[in-house]
Structure 1
Amino acid sequence: MVAKQLKPSRYRTTCRTCGSAIRPGDMITGGKGRSVCATCSHGSLAEPAAPAPAPRPIGPVRGLDLESSGVHSLYLESLSEAVDYVTAGVPAAAENIPFIASRYSENAARSRTAFFERHLPSTLASDIANPKKSILDAVDSMRRSLTESVVLTSPARNRRRGVDTGDEINVDRFLSRQPECWDRIERAPKPKRVVSIAINGITPGNFESRHLCPRGAAVIALADYLTEQGYSVGITLFACSRGLCLPAHSDISIVNIAVKHPDHPMDINSIVAPVCDAGINRLVALKALALAARSTLDDGLGTCQSLPAELKQRFVFCIDCDVSSEASARSWLQDCINKTQPVAA
């Protein structure tokens, strides 16, 4: 390390480090207004200056982890956590910083309007909260077709008597001046069963929302139907790719995003965008997959991959990347409805 060169001071000043007085002729480094005495500059003149601390490593704490099944996975517990993860935009591998900047930055999204369907990273949260009307219409159409083809059974209800609030007054109790004079019709209590649904939202680069939307609309229609039947429904969004990183082209990488937990209410508007809009799906799930890679990314981010059979077995219903048309989505939905009776048993 090259030591700082000492020189005699021409001015009467003070050391900017320790505040000691410096007289003309004292050995210093720097110049007027930024003078540092010899002791602060070098400590002992025989000792070299202390080296600068090593820079902190770049990269998020979380990335793809290898599981016992041989699959590299990242788990994100909620949609808001996924949005925060991709908004931070820091790759797990430092060598992927130029690639992420060239593909997923604000300027890159503006130049790739067809790929991201005019969505931008800066407006991601707003676009998720306010989905496109065309996507909401597609979901409503799928729900209507389900209502027309399936006979919806109403849950059993019981009349509860002698409560302080209700639907109608019991005349006998009212005349006898009993405060609990109301009758109320309530849904019969029954233990809820948790039904888990998986959707693989990965799509090729030339696919649009019209290819992904039927897949997501079928999932939402099924979840809404099961919720009406009294079940607790959880929805997990996946992005599954083979050959994400170089040179291991046979490895499978998966991002898991819990877009709806079973104990949360069924709010269609809050989950429809990432499972139906291809542009938002790429800004959330696909970007999270790229950020989580722990080695150099493949230029095409690998190829679309179906979910492993072991992973599918963890869910009651699963819709994969081979469903890309409205006809195939309706067929999958009808098959799921036909299986709901065994599920309820």
Structure 2
Amino acid sequence: MSGQRRAWGWAAALRSGSTTPWQDWLNTADPGEADPFSSYLPGAQQLGLLRRANLAAEATGRKLPRATADRILAAGVTGRGRGDLPVAGDGEPQRFGPRPVDPDTLPEHEFLRVAAGLIADDIAAIEEAPPQRRGLVDRVRDARRPQEQPFVIVGVPWRARAMSAALAAQGLRPGGRGATAYLLADDLGTVVADAWTARAFDQGGPTWPEFVEIFATAGRLPPRADLPRMANAAVQRYGAAQVRVVLDPSALAAELGVASVPEPPRLGANAVDLVRRVGQPLGGMVPSEARPRLLRAALVGRLDGRGGPALTVPPGWETWLATQAERTHHEIAAAGYPVLGDLDRMLPGPLAADPVEPVAAEVLALALGLLLDPVRPPVKEAS
């Protein structure tokens, strides 16, 4: 019996919803055979991902649509590393190229290289609806009712952008002449994690452990986590008397005259890593300025509250984190900025005994959910 025809038989079965592992398929008394249904046998990554997608669909009482199965089988492999890997035991001689592998023994990151590209394809295909113009009556009313206390929210872009948008939705539109700049701060470990989250949306780049190591070994903070630098930038733009450091959101709410200020969406460690992975292939599909906007529009709502616990700084960098926190605390205090809350909140406690960082298997589970229920065009809010 031809190994090639066995492999095509397995591929055809997976295409129809099978969850049988490759070795079980080979070891059955009468493994099914099939003729090729495409110009080449899909790679081990694609076949292994399709089996996992079938398992994920089965777990929810569903069946993966044939169109989705065909997309997975025809997908390319993104990121660094080898391209499509041949399937061990398919009967095809391999004199050159990568060694054949059992699709079910591949690490999760190989499947994520396929899944990330498919999700990026979906996001790139989204046509953003044009913003709905606010009515003339609303615009005239706002012009006649100037905001009593002009303000802007600054700090790590991930938090500042989300809070600004949420306050605007409540009728408090940031900006205006003589605005007070509120610099969002927190314990430095959280600020560094927020900086990586912002980078995942804007640029992608290194993994979380690599990100921390890059800056820790250089003895400095990521630019997006350097609160004194951001405070100085706010002084240059708004004036020294107009900068406040915020460590207590309730105190900020009191200053703005609202019941509460919204927290940004909560994306767990695995959710942020999925955004980072999807952003890599998306960067080659859309203009660079569109990538973060499309990622936020397509993924934040789907991933909010998911992805496990929040990131923590990896072990081994306690001294770096404590030193940078003390420097940040000293420079903010010495500058004399008014502080809403307790400045000592910037100082992190001991690092967690069980650090939180992305786990590839959990990231893949989130990716499979986005393949089962693909992202849809967002509804554009009125502005």
Q: Which has the higher strand share?
A: 1
Question: TM over 0.5, yes or no?
Answer: no
Larger Rg: 1
TM-score (norm 2): 0.20
